[in-house]
Structure 1
Amino acid sequence: MSRAFVKEDGPDNAPLPDLPISPYPNYVTPRGFAQLQARLAEAQTRLAGLRARMDRLDRLPEAAAERDIRYVEARLKSALLMTSEGRGCEEVVFGHRVSVVDEGGAKTAYTIVGEDEADAATGHIAPQSPLARALLGTQPGDVVAWRRPAGVVELEVLAIAWP
């Protein structure tokens, strides 16, 4: 193919804009820090594989991998590792697993983790979430009001533990 038909400069070759970084402190659990490190290694491996392709006319996948690497590196650089060492279970803090019961008697447990580790489906919630904000600083026996779009739910804190 003639070089005249190969597009070397264009929007698909420009770097992609960086992913937005949260304005909140980047607290992470040891598990969350390990997940970020694994994500970085995976993205670097993916980028190496993309660069090794014979047909590299489409540079968009490479740009996306580079953007992902920049994001994860920034998150690792700003990480504030929080461990349970020297910290008790008197009141709910970052990293705690909190068992609660709602007004209907349903028991649930939530773990307050970093933003990159949060997954509501598994009970891992970010400290900026409305539920975590309601739970932080409470003690067993306290009742909190969790303001949700569907309405306010009262939760009683049953237990606090390190996962």
Structure 2
Amino acid sequence: MQKGFTRRPQADEPASGVKNYITPSGLQRLKDEHQFLLTRDRPAVVEVVAWAASNGDRSENADYQYGKRRLRQIDGRIRFLSKRIEAAEVVDPEAPRSGQRQTRAFFGATVRYANAAGAERVVSIVGVDEIDLDRNHISWMSPLGRALMKSAAGDSVVLHAPGGTEHLTVEEVCYKRIPVEPFREPPGSEASTKELPRRLSLDEEDETA
């Protein structure tokens, strides 16, 4: 059974009305998922529900009940994505900068810092919809993101995290492309498992002509 598009609230998720700062690649990923759900996955599930509804008693029809539940999940995700896209405030990390915005850490910055033990780490400050800890992409609203904000090379900052307080030294701040993982169709979705009609070859077209 396919897992639904569920999303757990995050501690650093902005409150309603707060601008959704996001990189161009991150916004494109939201749009690609929205388009997939609206034009491919939802129509495929609607077709399954219609087929299941024709099979008799809906109250005991597992396919029908599951299909209706999937539709509610998809519709909820579509509404969520629509709001995030509408509230998007795009910030391009590669855009020309001047003054302090060139040397200090703001949204879209990639920062190299060291902890008190001298261990270094490099993180990129992105939107809440772009968090990817495997790629060291952190939210601008996270404790670390807030600690690094407006810092420059040579600054010492204090990180107040759930695990305790850390003193960090900023070693480098730069602005460059932040590669965001693109949207990919989830395996097992109705749209991806739906068999598409096979295109005839030229020889087969001649035979059927």
Tell me the TM-score normalised to structure 1 length. 0.82
Q: Is the 8 A contact 2:123 2:137 kept in 1?
A: yes
**1:48-89 alpha-carbon deviations (Å, 9 max, x no partner):** 110121215221101110110111011111100012423242
Q: Is the 8 A contact 2:14 2:141 kept in 1?
A: no
Matches of 2:109 and 2:32 in 1, distance apart?
A: 23
Counterpart among 26, 30, 34 of residue 32 in structure 1: 26
In the alignment, structure 1 segments of 5+ residues that lack a partner are: 1-18
- 1:94 counterpart residue number: 107
- 1:114 counterpart residue number: 127
- 1:8 counterpart residue number: none
How far residue 162 of structure 1 moved from its aligned partner, in angstroms, is 1.7
Higher helix share: 2
Counterpart among 36, 52, 67 of residue 55 in structure 1: 52
Residue aligned with 2:103, SS: coil
Residue aligned with 2:42, SS: helix
Counterpart among 148, 172, 186 of residue 135 in structure 1: 148
Matches of 1:90 and 1:162 in 2, distance apart?
A: 9
Structure 1 residue runs of 4+, over 6 Å off? none
Percent identical among aligned pairs is: 26
Higher strand share: 1
CA RMSD of aligned residues (A): 1.8
- Name the amino acid aligned to 1:69: I
Matches of 1:111 and 1:85 in 2, distance apart?
A: 15
How far residue 118 of structure 1 moved from its aligned partner, in angstroms, is 1.2
Q: How many residues align?
A: 145
- 2:74 counterpart residue number: 65
- 2:41 counterpart residue number: 46
Q: Is the 8 A contact 2:122 2:136 kept in 1?
A: yes
Q: Higher Cα Rg: structure 1 or 2?
A: 2
Matches of 1:155 and 1:38 in 2, distance apart?
A: 37
- Name the amino acid aligned to 1:87: R
Residue aligned with 1:34, SS: helix
How far residue 152 of structure 1 moved from its aligned partner, in angstroms, is 1.1
How far residue 122 of structure 1 moved from its aligned partner, in angstroms, is 2.3
- Name the amino acid aligned to 2:110: R
**1:128-162 alpha-carbon deviations (Å, 9 max, x no partner):** 11111110001000011111222211111111112
How far residue 22 of structure 1 moved from its aligned partner, in angstroms, is 3.6
- Name the amino acid aligned to 2:91: M
Residue aligned with 1:55, SS: helix
- 2:163 counterpart residue number: 150
Residue aligned with 1:52, SS: helix
Residue aligned with 1:95, SS: coil
- Name the amino acid aligned to 2:52: D
1:81 aligns with 2:90: yes
How far residue 119 of structure 1 moved from its aligned partner, in angstroms, is 2.3
Tell me the TM-score normalised to structure 2 length. 0.65
